């Protein structure tokens, strides 16, 4: 489970780069009940999504030339500069060099060797999201990659993650559970799965991360996604021991998963 006592290597922040910020605010407000709080009065300025007064994610204008709208996952690091050096040593690339964020922390963004984009956050005065592991908030993260073994080696070198492989039912492949270094199994925060390049249609065959958001009613949330112009890649369907889930895409092309967990 994802918690807010962020351990090194655990997800601590996520944000969405959207081509149309007001449209994204309208979509996610309708789907999850989120409210948007901009950090300044400038149109298109970066801000935060809140639920019940607590921050669940960030939102900003997509400005990178040719980039697709997507959710970016940030992992906790004690030293963004040292992580950047480790990324380069391990065959990754630096998209955004380490930079300070007004005293709140230090961040950097990268691409792994299979094309998966991710980021790190070195906290200053700001630790990360304030609400997780419940309806309308981040509960899990997933990496779809063309080379699971290489991904486990890369992120293992970077964050010390421990992984546990599970065979999916019906010959569905292998799913690798991710736990931060030295923490017990109940602190698992995500998984990674190998897929052929032609199955990664959103990125043209490159690896990508996406968030899993909780819901009290997966089907009702999916109905809201469709009503607001989003699409559904898979589901809703039941996953044994996990819950009822659906893979969704917002109107701008950013993907996420909706999950109503199995009780107990």
Structure confidence by residue, pLDDT tens digits, 82-117: 999 999 999 999 999 999 988 899 999 999 999 999
In this structure, the answer to whether residues 86 and 151 fall within a common structural domain is: no
Contact at 8 Å (CB) between 207 and 114? Answer: yes
Q: Are residues 156 and 227 in the same domain?
A: yes
What pLDDT digit, counting tens, does each position of 51-88 carry?
A: 999 999 999 999 888 889 999 999 999 999 999 999 99
In a domain, 132, yes or no: no
Q: Residue 164: how many CB atoms within 10 A of its CB?
A: 12
Instruction: Give pLDDT tens digits for 234-244.
Output: 989 998 888 99
Q: Are 223 and 174 in contact (CB under 8 A)?
A: no
Domain co-membership, 85 together with 50: yes
How many domains does one find in the chain? 2
pTM of the model: 0.95
**Residue 197 in tokens:** 């390049």
Alpha carbons 61 and 21: distance in angstroms, whole number? 6
**H/E element, 219:** helix 218-227
- Is residue 155 domain-shared with residue 212, that is, in the same domain? yes
């Amino acid at each position: 489970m994802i918690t807010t006592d962020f351990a090194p290597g655990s997800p601590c922040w996520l944000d969405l780069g959207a081509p149309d910020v007001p449209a994204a605010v309208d979509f996610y407000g309708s789907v999850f009940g989120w409210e948007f709080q901009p950090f300044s009065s400038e149109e298109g300025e970066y801000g935060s999504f809140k639920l019940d007064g607590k921050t669940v994610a960030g939102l900003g204008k997509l400005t990178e030339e040719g980039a697709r709208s997507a959710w970016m996952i940030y992992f906790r690091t004690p030293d963004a500069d040292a992580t950047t050096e480790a990324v380069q040593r391990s065959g990754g690339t630096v998209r955004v060099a380490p930079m300070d964020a007004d005293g709140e922390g230090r961040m950097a963004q990268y691409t792994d060797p299979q094309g998966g984009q991710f980021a790190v956050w070195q906290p200053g005065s700001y630790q990360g999201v304030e609400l997780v592991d419940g309806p309308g908030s981040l509960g899990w993260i997933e990496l779809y990659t063309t080379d699971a073994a290489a991904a486990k080696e890369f992120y293992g070198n970077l964050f010390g993650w421990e992984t546990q492989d599970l065979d999916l039912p019906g010959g569905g492949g292998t799913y690798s559970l991710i736990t931060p270094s030295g923490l017990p199994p109940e602190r698992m925060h995500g998984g990674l799965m190998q897929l052929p390049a032609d199955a990664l249609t959103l990125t043209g065959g490159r690896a990508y991360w996406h968030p899993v958001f909780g819901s009290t009613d997966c089907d009702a949330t999916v109905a809201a996604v469709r009503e607001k112009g989003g699409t559904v890649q898979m589901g809703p369907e039941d996953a044994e021991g996990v819950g009822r889930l659906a893979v969704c895409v917002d109107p701008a092309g950013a993907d996420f998963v909706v999950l109503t967990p199995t009780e107990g």
